[in-house]
Amino acid sequence: MIKILKYDDSNPLSIKEYGETLIGKTFLDVLDAAGIEDDLKQGIITKTNNPNYKGGMGHLIEEYHFGYKINSDQEPDFPKAGVELKVTPYEIGKKGGYSAGERLVITMISYQDAVEEDYYASHVYKKLVLTLLVHYLRDRTLTRMEYPINFVTLFSPPEEDLKIIQQDYEKIITKVKEGKAHELSEGDTTYLGACTKGSNSIKSYVPQAFYAPELKAQKRAFCLKQSYMTYILNTYVRKKVDTYESILSSVHDIEDKTFEELIIGKINSHLGKTDEQLMTEFDVLPGSKSFWSSLAYRMLGIKSNRAEEFEKANIEVKTIRLEENGTLKESISFPHLTFIEFVQEEWEESDFYNDLSSKRYLLVVFQKQGSRNILKGCQLWNITNEDLDEARIGWEMIQQVVVQGVKLWKKYKKNGIDFVVKNNFPKKEANRIIHIRPHTSERYYKLSDGEIIGNNPSYGDELPDGRMMLKQSFWLNNTYILSQLDDSLKR
């Protein structure tokens, strides 16, 4: 029996218009409208509501709204129209901000066959060039079938984004061709990432059969990074006013050089200048909290400290200030963790892993020289897989302390009156990569006997057993950061 479609599957606008009939519906509404038998319907509901069922939301829209069977074809979902369908979540934060719920997986990276060297002939390009994005709100107070579908958008990346995505694609396939797929990291690239697929178990590692059959690598897929998807959500899907400046004046800026070469060249054109000279040149006021990052952004031609490309790529500017003797005092911090959520997390599903594995840093390095600081240069940096695994060990040690119950005790000073509250988290020296400590010198604790230390509860976070302690954050060790700097920046 031939199924009659309610849209023209060769016309992108017809597909979009039919997709827009999803807006305001839940996934349960979609299933109800399909008119299937109750037994089958109940089975689909049970399976889709299972959080371990990957891809279930997209499968339901494909089959029961658009009326085509799920397949593993490398062509776009609507081949006649050249349109790929992606059903993807978004979330609304406590302060009302909208963010993508996850990265957008495009297609698997094959280690079994020769990679397609022509970007424009690749499955990645064909699936990216025109995408129907169906955004649903992930509201964890509801079952998955109750999630509402709120946005349907026919999206094509702008020309300058496609150029950067091409550079990312070529960087990824170069590693695969060199038999170094085991060295791939999502943080290697700008918008297009190589994300892991499957758990970190031995089953998720497969031979690099075509280029390096003796070596195994973790299964990975091409994806648009979560930071890029958040930008797309707010700028194109929600049509939020664009308040970001672009580093690129046009796509022609990266015709003869990569995006990385462009930004490094912009910073390095000021090599040897002092902070005072840069401050005068770019009219940056001293003493502000953002003084150092402002200098970096001004060198890039950005006046607002909000660069469009960095938002899309999850690139964070960090100014590194070396002492005259070449040492580094400061570590790099991450957002504070929530203990009750932290104890439930698996490493590869954790906020910290997601941030650390996908984030890139533009490290802008100054070195103290008398009363001034001299610009030494910059580098783009992201963590390697080996170091990420070492960070995992530190993360698990810290998680275990919270699971078993953090020990808190007062340590009195010599006067017998003043004290500090100590804990049994691993010391900084316990892991080469990361440690945990608070951001602030303030304090707030609620001890097991009910005693409260401190006056402002906003500084505290609840432990799983009901006690409170000062909010804690993960930090990249200063000694580790120093070890990652290029030798040219430390001379």
Whether 283 maps to a domain, the answer reads: no
pLDDT (average), residues 437-462? 93
415 backbone dihedrals φ, ψ, rounded to 5°: -75, -10
What percent of the chain lies above the pLDDT cut of 90? 79
- CATH number for position 38: 3.40.600.10
Give 71's pLDDT tier (boundaries 50, 70, 90).
low
Whether 329 maps to a domain, the answer reads: no
CA 474, CA 438: separation in Å to the nearest integer?
Answer: 8
Query: 232 exposed, middle or buried (CB, 10 Å; 0-12, 13-18, 19+)?
Result: buried
What percent of the chain lies above the pLDDT cut of 70? 97
pLDDT tens for 250-291 read 888 998 999 999 999 999 999 999 999 999 999 998 887 789
pLDDT tens for 189-212 read 999 999 988 666 567 899 999 999
- Domain end, chosen from 219, 237, 255, is at 237
Query: Structural domain of residue 399, as residue ranges?
Result: 334-360+383-491
Q: Are residues 83 and 227 in the same domain?
A: yes
Whether 428 maps to a domain, the answer reads: yes
Q: How many CB atoms lie within 10 A of CB 108?
A: 14
Average pLDDT of the chain, as a whole number: 92
CA 343, CA 399: separation in Å to the nearest integer?
Answer: 6
Residue 3 has pLDDT above 60, yes or no: no
pLDDT (average), residues 231-257? 87
In this structure, what token pair is assigned to residue 29?
A: 């509404």
pLDDT tens for 86-111 read 999 999 998 889 999 999 999 999 99
Residue 374 has pLDDT above 80, yes or no: yes
Whether 5 maps to a domain, the answer reads: no
- For position 2, what pLDDT does the model report? 46
Q: Are residues 232 and 352 in the same domain?
A: no
Higher local confidence (pLDDT), 217 or 4: 217
Residue 25 has pLDDT above 70, yes or no: yes
Instruction: Name residue 81's amino acid.
Output: A
Whether 461 maps to a domain, the answer reads: yes
pLDDT (average), residues 431-440? 95
Rounded CA Rg of the chain = 25
In this structure, what token pair is assigned to residue 420?
A: 């500090």
Whether 185 maps to a domain, the answer reads: yes
CA 321, CA 490: separation in Å to the nearest integer?
Answer: 11
pTM, 2 dp: 0.84
Give 72's pLDDT tier (boundaries 50, 70, 90).
low
Q: How many domains does the chain have?
A: 2
Whether 296 maps to a domain, the answer reads: no
Q: Are residues 225 and 340 in the same domain?
A: no
CA 9, CA 437: separation in Å to the nearest integer?
Answer: 55
- Domain end, chosen from 237, 253, 287, is at 237
- Domain end, chosen from 209, 237, 265, is at 237
pLDDT tens for 309-320 read 999 999 999 999
Q: Are strands 360-369 and 315-322 parallel, antiparallel or unpaired?
A: parallel
267 backbone dihedrals φ, ψ, rounded to 5°: -70, -45
Q: Are residues 349 and 232 in the same domain?
A: no
pLDDT tens for 157-184 read 999 999 999 999 999 999 999 999 999 9
pLDDT (average), residues 464-472? 96
- For position 1, what pLDDT does the model report? 38
148 backbone dihedrals φ, ψ, rounded to 5°: -85, 145
Q: Are residues 178 and 36 in the same domain?
A: yes
Tokens 């490398």, located at residue: 74
- For position 202, what pLDDT does the model report? 63
CA 300, CA 264: separation in Å to the nearest integer?
Answer: 9
pLDDT (average), residues 54-62? 87
Higher local confidence (pLDDT), 191 or 244: 191
Whether 257 maps to a domain, the answer reads: no
Q: Are strands 468-470 and 460-462 parallel, antiparallel or unpaired?
A: antiparallel
pLDDT (average), residues 106-130? 92
pLDDT (average), residues 57-70? 89
